[in-house]
């Protein structure tokens, strides 16, 4: 299907309409101006300034260390680039778990200081009060269920979630709750495809899957993973669309060789 570039700006309403007419939503992460420009020009519907920046931009093992100030820095760079995409920003670990007032203040800072269009927050019923308070302030909220990386030390592993009925039941209930509260969409991360299908069918808001199979209303991937910048990260759910590690590595090696041999710069490349 070709990308509809006629849309001026993708909004939370556009995503709803896409679900209604059966058009899948494309979402990718970006954390800086240059990458976000490419992602936006290609026609991606939603750009997620994910807290995965903690991993791929800062080199941390988990998403926990990234701060609200750092997320705002990444988000404002992406917002300057995104002319068409809806820009959604993760509320980072420690910026909302304390209480709903803290959650609201963090969401307001993101919206005010970065110019983003919406926030994403991990969790279900336990964060209902925070979600509700943020929404009351007029800030669109996207939910995130299944594998929620900010809880990695509680889970102890990054394996598939909600295989057991008790966890699957909670996820179904959480999804309905987030919809009732007014979330405009929900990311479903690393859950069985059949469960994602069931949840997607039970909601009128779109589900965006990552490692959650083909029945979600849209898909999201971390840009560094899908472009093959992260050498060696190849989980089953990931389709790699390029091998930028190799392309960049070769380019850099050629540059080094040219500098060492004295062939760069040549006469035409100087003043
Ligand atoms: O931070 C992130 O990149 C995310 C996606 C994996 C959904 O939350």
What is the overall mean pLDDT for the chain? Answer: 97
59 C-alpha to ligand 1 centroid (Å): 15
Question: Is 6 a member of any domain?
Answer: no
| Ligand 1 pocket test, candidate residues 63, 209, 212, 229, most atoms within 8 A of CB | 63
Please check whether residue 7 lies inside any domain of the structure.
Answer: no
Within a 10 A sphere around the Cβ of 194, how many other Cβ atoms?
A: 11
Provide the whole-model pTM: 0.96
Burial of residue 44 (CB within 10 Å: 0-12, 13-18, 19+) is: buried
Q: Which ligand 1 atom is the nearest neighbour of the CA of 208?
A: 7
Residue 7 has pLDDT above 80, yes or no: no
Q: Which atom in ligand 1 lies closest to the alpha carbon of residue 149?
A: 8
Total number of domains in the chain:
2
How does residue 253 score in pLDDT terms, banded at 50, 70 and 90? very high
Mean pLDDT of 177-205: 98
Q: Give pLDDT tens digits for 127-173.
A: 999 999 999 999 999 999 999 999 999 999 999 999 999 999 999 99
The pair of structure tokens assigned to 57 is 């931009």
Ligand 1 atom 1: residue of nearest CA: 50
Residues 203 and 258 in one domain: no
Q: Which domain holds residue 46?
A: 12-240
Res. 6 pLDDT band, cuts 50 70 90 = low
Based on the domain organization, do 97 and 180 belong to the same domain? Answer: yes
Percent of the chain, pLDDT > 90?
96
> Given a cut of 80, is residue 226 above it in pLDDT?
yes
**What's the CATH number where 58 sits?**
3.20.20.60
Q: Give, in order, the Cα–Cα distances in Å from 144 to each of 238, 261, 271.
A: 19, 52, 54
Strands 25-29, 218-221: pairing is parallel
Read off the pLDDT of each residue in 189-209 and give the average, rounded to a whole number.
98
Do 168 and 254 belong together in one domain?
Answer: no
Do 17 and 41 reside in the same domain of the chain?
yes
Indicate whether 51 belongs to any domain. yes
* Same-domain status, 165 and 256: no
pLDDT of 181 over the 70 cut: yes
CB 75 within 8 A of CB 116: yes
pLDDT of 3 > 80? The answer is no
Do 20 and 65 fall within a single domain? Answer: yes
The answer to whether residue 16 sits within a structural domain is: yes
Active site residue ranges: 189
Are residues 253 and 221 located together in one domain of the fold?
no
Q: Is the CB of 187 under 6 A from ligand 1?
A: yes
Pairing assessment for the beta strands 86-90 and 118-122 based on DSSP bridges:
parallel
Task: Please check whether residues 228 and 255 belong to one and the same domain.
Answer: no
Confidence at residue 8, expressed as pLDDT on a 0 to 100 scale: 84
Q: Compute the distance from residue 213 Cα to the ligand 1 centre, in Å.
A: 16
Task: Kindly report the protein residue whose alpha carbon is nearest to atom 2 of ligand 1.
Answer: 50
Task: Return d(Cα 117, Cα 204) in angstroms, integer.
Answer: 21
On the question of a cis peptide bond just before residue 265, with omega within 30 degrees of 0, the verdict is yes
For residues 155 and 193, state if they share a domain.
yes
Query: In this model, does residue 232 exceed pLDDT 90?
Result: no
d(CA 109, CA 73): 11
């Amino acid at each position: 299907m070709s990308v509809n570039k006629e849309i001026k700006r993708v909004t939370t309403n556009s995503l709803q309409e896409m679900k209604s007419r059966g058009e899948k939503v494309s979402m990718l992460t970006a954390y800086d101006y240059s990458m976000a420009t490419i992602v936006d020009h290609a026609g991606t519907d939603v750009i997620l300034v994910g807290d995965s920046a903690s991993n791929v931009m800062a080199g941390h093992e988990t998403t926990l260390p990234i701060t609200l100030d750092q997320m705002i820095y990444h988000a404002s760079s992406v917002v300057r680039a995104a002319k068409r995409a809806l820009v959604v920003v993760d509320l980072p670990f420690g910026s909302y778990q304390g209480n709903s007032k803290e959650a609201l203040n963090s969401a307001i800072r993101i919206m005010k200081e970065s110019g983003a269009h919406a926030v994403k927050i991990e969790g279900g019923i336990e964060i209902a009060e925070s979600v509700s308070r943020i929404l009351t302030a007029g800030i669109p909220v996207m939910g995130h269920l299944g594998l929620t990386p900010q809880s990695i030390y509680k889970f102890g592993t990054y394996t598939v979630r909600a295989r057991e009925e008790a966890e699957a039941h909670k996820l179904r209930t959480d999804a309905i709750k987030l919809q009732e509260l007014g979330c405009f969409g929900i990311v479903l991360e690393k859950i069985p495809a059949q469960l994602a299908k069931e949840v997607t069918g039970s909601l009128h808001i779109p589900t965006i899957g990552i490692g959650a199979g083909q029945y979600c209303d849209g898909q999201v991937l971390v840009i560094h993973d899908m472009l093959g910048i992260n050498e060696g990260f190849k989980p089953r759910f990931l389709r790699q669309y390029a091998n930028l590690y190799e392309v960049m590595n070769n380019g850099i090696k050629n540059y080094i060789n040219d500098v060492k041999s004295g062939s760069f710069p040549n006469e035409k490349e100087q003043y």
